[in-house]
Structures are given as structure tokens and as C-alpha cells.
Structure 1
Amino acid sequence: MISHVCIGVNDFDKAFAFYTKVMAALGHELKFCERDRPWAGWMAKGRARPLFIIGRPYDGHPAQSGNGQMVALLAPDRISVDNVYATALANGGVCEGEPGLRPQYHPDYYGAYFRDLDNNKIGVCCHEPVAGEA
């Protein structure tokens, strides 16, 4: 359904360093990085799409976060949610919701939320039960 998601950043080098660590914690690979543009995109191993892209806004104006907007990244398991959240906070991200079950979404929804260096809200979640449960 989704080809790519792009979020605006103001300091590309800082954002690239931040997301390189966050995407590594999810096991995603860098597909491209063009510092002169500047933009970069990551993908899940073995998949061309969807892409998660960061970059300076095309129109040249400063990037701004939106109220009510969020990108949620899919994690393969709950431990990965915990690791991505911890990685984000250790690298300058700000807590928007600690890792945990969110049964109001569905019984197995396990997620965490943070703001990146440009105040974009990012979620990371797993929809699977713990191995052995069901």
C-alpha cells in the first residue's frame, strides 16, 4: 500500500547519524544517501519498498513537525521495540510513550513512541504475541 514515507529534517548530518542507529536497531539497510541533496532512505532487508526517507524539504523552507502526524515502524518482535526505543533516546530522541502493551489497539499491540531530533513523532510497534502465547 505504501511506497515510501519521507520526513523533513533540518540538520541532515545529525538526523542521518540518529536514523542510521535507529534503522540498524530494526535491522534495516541503507538504500541510498545523497549528502549534496541531502536525503537518505532505508529499507527492510531483501525488500525494495517501502522506504523510510529523511531529507531537507524540497522547497528550501525549514522542516516542521506536525501535530497529530506520526510514522510507525514495524518491528519483528517486542525486544526490537525496546531496543529501537532505547537507541532513539540514547541518541537524542525524546520519550512520547515507553514500550508496553497497548490493548486499546488490540491484545498483542506492543509499541513505543519517541520524537526525533526535529520533533517528528515516530512509533515502533510489534503486532505479534510473545512466542508460546496465542
Structure 2
Amino acid sequence: MLSHVYLGTKDLSRAFGFYQRVLAPLPLKLRFHEPDEGWAGWEPAGGGRPLLIVGRPFDGQPHGAGNGQMVALLATDRAQVRQVHAAALAAGGRCEGPPGPRPHYHPHYYGAYFRDLDGNKLAVACHVPAAPGEPS
């Protein structure tokens, strides 16, 4: 359904370090990092799309985080949700909602929310039931 998601940044070097840490628990790999072009992108571990791209705005204007916009990353289990959220906070991100169930979305939704170093809002979500013995 999606080709790619592009998140703006005012400082690619800083954003790249943040996303390297945050995306490490997920089944993604770096596809390109082109500082001279002003962007970096990650793809699914098996290749292909969708891509998650972080870069300077194409029009050369300053980046501004949009209110009401959010990118949600898919986690395969609840542990990944907790790992990604913890990595985001450890890398300087800001918590917008700790890991936990959100049954108002659906019975198995487990997610967490954070903002990156440029104020972009992200979520990480798991949509499958908790594994036996796994904390909710």
C-alpha cells in the first residue's frame, strides 16, 4: 500500500544516529545513507518497500513537524514495541505514550508513541495477541 514515508529533519547526522538506534530492534536494514544528498533510508530486512526515509526538506525550507501527522512502525511482538520505545527515549526522543495495550483501537493493539529529535511523532505497534507468559 505504501511506497515510502519521508520524515523531515534539520540535522541529518543527528537524525541518522537517532534512527539507527530506534530501528535496530525491528526487521529493517539500511538501504542508503547519502549525507551529501541529505537523506538516509531503511527497507524491510528482505528488501523492497515500503521505505522509511529521513532527510532534509526538498524545497530547502526549514523542517517543521506537523500536528496530527504520525508514522506507525510495525512490531512483530510486544517486546519489540518496548525495545523501540526504550531506544527512542535513550537516543533523546520524547515519550508521547508509554508501551501498553490500547483496547479502544482493537483487542490486541499494543503500542507506544514518541517524538524524534525534530518533533516528528512516531508510534510502534503490535497487532497480535500477547504470547503466553508475555506481560501485557
TM-score (norm 1): 0.96
Partner residue, 1:100: 100
Partner residue, 1:75: 75
What does 1:104-115 align with in structure 2 at a 5 Å threshold? 104-115=104-115
Q: Distance in 1 between matches of 2:33 and 2:52?
A: 12
Deviation, structure 1 residue 131: 2.2
Number of positions where the alignment pairs a residue of Structure 1 with one of Structure 2: 133
Partner residue, 2:21: 21
Deviation, structure 1 residue 23: 1.1
Partner residue, 2:60: 60
* CA RMSD after TM alignment: 1.1
Name the SS of the counterpart of 2:25 in structure 1. helix
Q: Distance in 2 between matches of 1:118 and 1:132?
A: 38
Name the SS of the counterpart of 1:25 in structure 2. coil
Q: Distance in 1 between matches of 2:58 and 2:25?
A: 28
Q: Which amino acid is 1:71 matched to?
A: V
Q: Which amino acid is 2:122 matched to?
A: I
TM-score (norm 2): 0.95
Q: Which amino acid is 1:95 matched to?
A: C
- Residue ranges of structure 2 left out of the alignment (5+ in a row): none
Partner residue, 2:41: 41
Identity between Structure 1 and Structure 2 (%): 59
Partner residue, 1:4: 4
Deviations 1:14-63 (A, max 9, x none): 00000011111213100011110110000111031000000000110111
Partner residue, 1:129: 129
Q: Distance in 1 between matches of 2:111 and 2:30?
A: 23
Q: Which amino acid is 1:121 matched to?
A: K
Q: Which amino acid is 1:87 matched to?
A: A
Name the SS of the counterpart of 1:80 in structure 2. helix
Q: Distance in 2 between matches of 1:102 and 1:118?
A: 26
Deviation, structure 1 residue 132: 4.1
Moved over 6 A (4+): none
Partner residue, 2:120: 120
